Amino acid sequence: MEELPPYAAVVLAGGRAARLGGQRKPQLDVGGRTMLAAVLTAVAGAAERVVVGPPQPVAPGVRLVREDPPGGGPVPALAAGLAAVGTGTVALLAGDLPFLTTDLVDGLRARLVRDGVLVVDEAGRDQYLLGVWRTDALRSAAASVPGPAPLRAVLGRLAVDRWSPPTPGAGPAPWTDCDTPDELARARAAAGSPPSAAAAPPAD
């Protein structure tokens, strides 16, 4: 496989999950580690790892930054994360992907041809927080969207390719996220952790 260029990882890990009791979602435990720790482990080979959100445990060597204004939404969070990036390529990721793998991230990196490439799940939905991008293109697009806005308002301005990875034969897909109590319970069951698992210290 051709060697891929260096990349950074920006992980959006802010906000409280109303459907999960207002807890800090990335710090919830799945399989003995927090979901954020799982994401950071999947991008352990990144030249820079940046988490955007309120103060919270992160792995050693990870930079934690805050969006302006705090709680201002995904576009200010994206801008804050990109301000800390010095590589030409960046993975933009959610903080609640407990089954994310390095192979999936590398698959996206290998498919980066235009401004960006993102995962499309088995239901045909664009996973806006599971993609790899040209940093300059993403930074310019984010700067052109003032105020609160959904991420698609930024990413829709770019030349984006979409990738539908093969669905795993067994176990959860790497793009599985946890937005509801039922999704969290299923993820914990699949990972072999009890439904009431507490947050665990960050792992690298």
Q: Phi and psi dihedrals of 5, rounded to 5?
A: -70, 160
Please answer whether residues 49 and 102 qualify as being in contact, where contact means their C-beta atoms are separated by less than 8 angstroms.
no
CATH 3.90.550.10, domain 8-165+173-188, yes or no: yes
In the chain (204 residues long), the average pLDDT of successive 10-residue segments reads: 90 72 80 95 97 92 92 91 97 96 97 98 94 97 86 93 89 89 90 58 42
Q: What is the pLDDT of residue 196?
A: 52
Distance separating alpha carbons of residues 198 and 21, to the nearest angstrom: 14
Q: What is the pLDDT of residue 204?
A: 42
Q: What is the pLDDT of residue 9?
A: 98
What is the strand order of the sheet 48-52 is part of? 63-65, 48-52, 8-12, 89-94, 126-134, 116-120, 160-163
Q: Phi and psi dihedrals of 34, rounded to 5?
A: -70, 155
Q: What is the pTM of this model?
A: 0.90
Q: What is the pLDDT of residue 181?
A: 87
Would you list the domain boundaries of the chain?
8-165+173-188
Q: Return the structure tokens found at 104.
A: 């999936």
